[in-house]
Amino acid sequence: MLGVKGKFMMVAAIIVITSAVVWGSWFQHMASHLLFEKLESKARLIVTSYKDPVIDAILEVELENLIGRETLENIVDELVHNSELPALYAYITDPSGTVVVSDKLDEYGRRNGDAFAAEALKQGDFKQRIVGDRWDDTGLLDIAMPLNVHGKKWGVFRVSFPLRPLHKQLAELKGVILTLTFIICLIQMGVFFVVGLSLTRPLKELAGAMAAVDPVNLTSPLKVNRRDEIGTLQKSFRLMLDKLKQSESERQRAVNSLVQSEKLAIVGKLAAGVAHEVNNPLAAMNNCIFNLKQTATGETSPDIDILTQACRQIENIVQQLLDFNRAGQLILEPVQSDAFFREITAMSEMALKKKGVVFSINDRCSPPLQLTIDKWKLTQVALNLLMNAAEASPPGESVEVSAYTEEGAYCLAIKDHGMGIPPELQEKIFELFYTLKSNRKGNGIGLAISRNIVDMHCGAILLESRPGETTFTVIIPLDGEKQHAIS
C-alpha cells in the first residue's frame, strides 16, 4: 500500500508526465505545421522559379527549335534530381492535356485526362493539393502551375513532391522533444522528491507517537508542539483518543444494526421465494371469488367485495416481495437493426482494442429491420459474448460478428477461433457461478445474465463449438407483441 510520500510522488509523476506529454504534443504539433508550411513554400518557390524558363522553352519548341525541347527536358530532369527537394515526377502538358515533356519516356504524347491540371489551366492560377495522408510516408504534395502569357494558355506544369523529407525532419524533431521531455521530467521529479521528503518526515514522527498508544487505557505520550497542519492533526488525534472510550457503546449498536440488516436481507430472499409459492393458492382463490360473484345475492355481495379487495392486497404484497429479489425489467423500444449493429460493433471495437484480436463484422440484414428490444440490455449481452470470444481467441486470430434474419427472427452470431468448449460443458456454462476461466477473471455470472436477458425477449442463445471454432448465436423473434407480453 502506498504511503503519503508514495501517493505524493505518484500524483507528482502524473502531473509531470501529463504536462510533459501536453507540452511535447503541442510543440510537435506546431512544429509539424510549421515544417509543412515551409515545405509547401519551398516547393512553390522551386516550381514558380521555372515558370519563365519553361515558357521560353515552349516558345522555342513552337518555333521548331530543338534547343527548346532539350531545355524542357533538362528542367524536368533538374526537378526530379534536385538535391534539396527532389520531385517524384514532373511533366508538362499542352492546353489539350497531352504530355509534351516528362521524366518518364512512356508518358510522352499521352493524354492523361488530368482533372487537377485542367482545373488549374481553367482558373489560370497556381494550385496545390495533398494526395494521400499528409502524415504518412506515401503522402504527396501535388502542384499544377498554368503556363499563361498575356492571356494565352500554353499548357500546365505538373510536379509532385514526396513528403518523406518532411517525415524525416519530424522524426528527428520527435527524438529531440522526447530527450528534452525526459530530462525535464527527471529534474521535476527530483524537486518533487525533495519536497515530498520534507513533508513526510513529521508525519512519520506522528505515526511513531500513535503507535505508542496504550491499548488498555488509550493514553499516549503524544505532545502537541506544532502550530501548522501537523499540529492540528496532533490535536485531532488526542481528541479522538478521548472520544474512543465513549464510542464503544455506539460501535456495539452499529454492529447490531449491521447484523440486523443482514438478517433482513436473508429474510427478503426467503420471502421472495415464499411469494412464488403464494401465487398458486392466490390464483385459486381469485378463481373461486370470480365464480362466487356470478351467483352472489345481495346479502353476500359485500362479503365478496371484501374478499376481492383482500386478494388484491395480497397480490400487491406478493408483487413487492418478488420485486425485492428480481432482475430489472425490459424497456422495449423500436430500434433499426443497422443502427443497433453499428452501435454494438463500435462499442466492441473500443472494448477489444487491447485484446490482440482481429475484429470482423458483417451485417447481412438488408434492407434494415425494425426490432422491438431493450437495446441496452441486448448490447450488454453482445459485449459479454464478444469479450468472452476475445479472451478465448489466440493473439492475432479473428473474432467475427454477423447479423442476419432466419425464420422470422433476428440473429446475431459471434464466432471465435479458440480451443472450443467440450460438449459436456456446453450447457453448464450458462449456470450461475460456473466458469471455464482458470485465471480468476471470470465469476460465472455473465452468461447466466445474458441468457436471462435473451429469455426475457422470448429469444434463445445457441452454442455450436468444436476445437478451433465456437459460435454463440443470439436469436430474437421479430414479433414484438410476444416481447411486450413477457415484459
Lowest-confidence segment of 80-89, 113-122, 171-180, 306-315 by average pLDDT: 306-315
Q: Is 431 part of a structural domain of the chain?
A: yes
In the chain, % of residues over pLDDT 90? 10
Residues 6+ apart with CB under 8 A from 5: 196, 197, 199, 200
Is this structure's pTM higher than 0.95?
Answer: no
Residue 279: alpha-carbon gap to chain centroid: 46
Residues 6+ apart with CB under 8 A from 337: 363, 365, 368, 369, 370, 371, 403, 410
Domain shared by 386 and 456, yes or no = yes
Q: Is 351 part of a structural domain of the chain?
A: yes
Q: Is 425 part of a structural domain of the chain?
A: yes
Amino acid at 174: K
Question: Does the pLDDT of residue 177 top 50, yes or no?
Answer: yes
Amino acid at 14: I
Name the DSSP class of 315: H
Write out 184-224 in H/E/C secondary structure: HHHHHHHHHHHHHHHHHHHHHHHHHHHHCCCCCCCCCCCCC
Domain shared by 373 and 262, yes or no = no
Q: Is 2 part of a structural domain of the chain?
A: no
Task: Choose the final residue of a domain: 270, 292, 324.
Answer: 324
CA–CA distance, 200 with 9 (Å, rounded to integer): 11
Amino acid at 330: L
Domain shared by 380 and 357, yes or no = yes
Q: Please, which residues bridge with residue 336 across strands?
A: 370
Residue-wise pLDDT for 408-433, tens only, equals: 899 999 999 988 988 888 888 887 66
Lowest-confidence segment of 15-24, 124-133, 269-278 by average pLDDT: 269-278
Q: Is 286 part of a structural domain of the chain?
A: yes
pLDDT band at 173 (very low <50, low <70, confident <90, very high): confident
Higher pLDDT, 297 or 148: 148
Q: What is the pLDDT of residue 474?
A: 96
Q: Is 208 part of a structural domain of the chain?
A: no
Question: Does the pLDDT of residue 125 top 60, yes or no?
Answer: yes
Lowest-confidence segment of 76-85, 186-195, 292-301 by average pLDDT: 292-301
CA–CA distance, 476 with 375 (Å, rounded to integer): 12
Q: What is the mean pLDDT of residues 239-255?
A: 71
Q: What is the mean pLDDT of residues 184-199?
A: 81
Q: What is the mean pLDDT of residues 394-404?
A: 90
Residue-wise pLDDT for 8-62, tens only, equals: 778 888 888 888 888 888 888 888 888 888 888 888 888 888 888 888 887 777 7
Question: Does the pLDDT of residue 298 top 60, yes or no?
Answer: yes
Q: What is the pLDDT of residue 65?
A: 67
Strand order across the 99-102 sheet? 99-102, 89-93, 152-162, 140-149, 127-131
Q: Which domain holds residue 281?
A: 249-324
CA–CA distance, 362 with 365 (Å, rounded to integer): 9
Domain shared by 438 and 366, yes or no = yes
Domain shared by 315 and 352, yes or no = no
- Can you spell out the DSSP letters for 155-191? EEEEEEEESHHHHHHHHHHHHHHHHHHHHHHHHHHHH
Q: What is the pLDDT of residue 245?
A: 66
CATH of the domain at 125: 3.30.450.20
Domain shared by 258 and 294, yes or no = yes
Domain shared by 477 and 337, yes or no = yes
CA–CA distance, 399 with 393 (Å, rounded to integer): 8
Most confident of 64-68, 79-83, 320-324: 79-83
Task: Choose the final residue of a domain: 269, 291, 324.
Answer: 324
Amino acid at 430: F
CA–CA distance, 216 with 244 (Å, rounded to integer): 12
Q: Is 357 part of a structural domain of the chain?
A: yes
Domain shared by 348 and 454, yes or no = yes
Q: Which of 416, 402, 448 is nearest to 429 (CA)?
A: 448
Q: Is 169 part of a structural domain of the chain?
A: no
Domain shared by 312 and 383, yes or no = no
Count CA atoms closer than 13 A to 269's CA, side-chain side.
Answer: 5
pLDDT band at 267 (very low <50, low <70, confident <90, very high): very low
Task: Choose the final residue of a domain: 162, 184, 208.
Answer: 162
Question: Does the pLDDT of residue 219 top 50, yes or no?
Answer: yes
Question: Does the pLDDT of residue 256 top 50, yes or no?
Answer: no
Tally of structural domains, the chain: 3
CA–CA distance, 457 with 69 (Å, rounded to integer): 78
Element (H, E) at 91: strand 89-93
In the chain, % of residues over pLDDT 70? 83
Domain shared by 278 and 362, yes or no = no
